[in-house]
Amino acid sequence: MNFNLSEEHLAVQEAARSFAQNELLPGIVERDNEARFPAEQVKRMGELGFMGMMVSPEYGGGGMDAVSYVLAMEEISKIDASASVVMSVNNSLVCYGLEAYGTEEQKQKYLTKLASGQVIGAFCLSEPEAGSDATSQATTAEDEGDYYLLNGTKNWITNGNSSSVCLVIAQTDREKKHRGINCLIVEKGTPGFVVGKKEDKMGIRASDTHSLLFTDVKVPKENRVGEDGFGFKFAMSTLNGGRIGIAAQALGIAAGAYELALKYSQERKAFGKQIFDHQAIQFKLAEMATKIEAARLLVYKAARLKDEHKDYVQAAAMAKLFASEVAMWTTTEAVQIHGGYGYVKEFHVERLMRDAKITQIYEGTSEIQKLVIARELVR
Ligand code: CAA
């Protein structure tokens, strides 16, 4: 076992930390208040190589490992979870999915632009009636010979408005159930493809979450990713890696709140001494530090298994389950340590608490992670 990070890992971590401090922190409260997409900051993430970190340089990516990716996700999420979800979806769902399963033409046409951050991608699986129960796809992709005719609605789509390239999961053959589902690359601007309502969210407010509507959208056959009927397997195997990204996001949110609480506890005085010197506060901070370290080990382990091409399904689900619970608990306690100041926006911990909640919901709820873990126990 080797717990040490390499020189390269430390450099990525430092680059992400300094980008988050210098370029994401300024204006973050305003962007959250106004639910304003961080367009300039996301462009910079592309320039700095954070949008396609694990993609091969041949396709415009950074050619880095999953450990580097989680280190960057952690640092960026300490400050700005809205920016980090844009990054996470682009990296681990869209870029990974295309690189692992796309054709050479699809990689040249789409992956190169996505990995370099010239365009943003979206992953469109969830529907009004299909969240956790993802095989119940109502969106249809009828086989019309040299194209698919796409009809349906996707919900809660991260990067819904800001994306140019969407991976859309849809049912082609209902009789074949999940084996009759396909994944199609659909470009914005295709006739019949409309961006719907923007969601007014509790947290990650600066990321843009929309419904997407498809009415008789003609998608060329060459835009199908993988063999006919591979779409559900594509979604599941892509989400296995996505969950490592969200686990790293949850870890970052928890660590960000903990660092703020630790600092505040050494500044604020009550009953004649720093509040850190009260055991009630020390115990909270000790428990936070311990849980965060445990979450970090699970996240790094899942990333390391992915890098070693070993099975990481269960490790990813465990990391996401645990890190997201730690994020929710730690951020709530960080607000408590800040007292009245914790409840107002300029101290940042209330935002982190709102942001933490989604990590227990998207890319598979905590309940779905338990289901995945339990199935692996007896597989
Ligand atoms: N990895 C690889 N394959 C998997 C898999 C996994 N983790 N889980 C299931 N599969 C495969 C199965 O092997 C099976 O294939 P075969 O029949 O060919 O063997 C097929 O998928 C269907 O599996 P099940 O029979 O187990 O299907 P199910 O309906 O009982 O359960 C589920 C599936 C695990 C509950 C799945 O629906 C699921 O993960 N749901 C959660 C969906 C989710 O995570 N949504 C996130 C939306 S995207 C998002 O949030 C992005 C964002 O904006 C940030």
Comparing CA positions, the residue from 155, 151, 167 lying closest to residue 130 is 155
**Whole-number average pLDDT of the chain:** 98
Q: Is 61 helix (H, G, I), strand (E, B) or coil?
A: coil
CA–CA distance, 142 with 221 (Å, rounded to integer) = 11
- pLDDT the model gives residue 1: 82
Q: 228 near 142, Cβ under 8 Å?
A: no
Tell me the pLDDT band of 308, cut-offs 50, 70 and 90: very high
Between the CA of 257 and the centroid of ligand 1 the distance, in Å, is: 32
Residue in 40, 363, 367, 376 annotated catalytic:
363
CB atoms near residue 34 (< 10 Å): 11
Q: Tell which atom from ligand 1 comes closest to the C-alpha of 361.
A: 50
- pLDDT the model gives residue 2: 84
Q: What is the pLDDT of residues 59-88, one digit of tens each?
A: 999 999 999 999 999 999 999 999 999 999
Question: Residue type for 327, please?
Answer: A
Minimum CA distance residue for ligand 1 atom 48 = 363
CA–CA distance, 220 with 243 (Å, rounded to integer) = 30
Residues with CB under 6 A from ligand 1: 85, 89, 123, 125-126, 132, 134-135, 158, 178, 232-233, 236-237, 239-240, 313, 362-364, 368, 372
CA–CA distance, 303 with 299 (Å, rounded to integer) = 6
Comparing CA positions, the residue from 354, 267, 115 lying closest to residue 107 is 115
Structure tokens at 289: 């530090």
Q: In angstroms, what CA-CA distances link 111 with 49, 107, 167, 199, 349?
A: 14, 5, 12, 28, 36
Strand partners, 220: 147
Tell me the pLDDT band of 94, cut-offs 50, 70 and 90: very high
Q: Is the pLDDT of residue 8 over 90?
A: yes
CA–CA distance, 54 with 62 (Å, rounded to integer) = 6
CA dihedral 161, 165, 170, 173 (to 10 degrees): 160
- pLDDT the model gives residue 81: 98
**pLDDT mean over 204-211:** 98
Structure tokens at 32: 């959250």
Q: Judge residue 138's burial from the number of C-beta atoms within 10 Å of its C-beta, 0-12 exposed, 13-18 middle, 19 or more buried.
A: middle
Q: Is the pLDDT of residue 267 over 90?
A: yes
Question: Residue type for 31, please?
Answer: R
In the structure, how many helices (H) and strands (E) does the chain have?
Answer: 13, 9
Q: Is 62 helix (H, G, I), strand (E, B) or coil?
A: coil
Ligand 1, pocket-test mutation among 239, 359, 360, 372, most atoms within 8 A of CB: 239
Comparing CA positions, the residue from 235, 129, 145 lying closest to residue 182 is 235
- pLDDT the model gives residue 127: 97
CA–CA distance, 139 with 289 (Å, rounded to integer) = 44
Contacts of 356 (CB under 8 A, 6+ apart): 203, 250, 253, 254, 257, 324, 327, 328, 330, 331
Q: What is the pLDDT of residues 313-365, one digit of tens each?
A: 999 999 999 999 999 999 999 999 999 999 999 999 999 999 999 999 999 99
- pLDDT the model gives residue 13: 98
* Intra-chain end-to-end CA distance of the chain, in Å: 26
CB atoms near residue 222 (< 10 Å): 12
Q: What is the pLDDT of residues 20-57, one digit of tens each?
A: 999 999 999 999 999 999 999 999 999 999 999 999 99
Q: Is the pLDDT of residue 150 over 90?
A: yes
Q: Which helix (H) or strand (E) holds 19?
A: helix 7-19
Q: Is the pLDDT of residue 216 over 90?
A: yes
Comparing CA positions, the residue from 152, 126, 76 lying closest to residue 363 is 126
Q: Is the pLDDT of residue 3 over 90?
A: no
Q: What is the pLDDT of residues 102-136, one digit of tens each?
A: 999 999 999 999 999 999 999 999 999 999 999 99
Strand partners, 194: 213
- pLDDT the model gives residue 273: 98
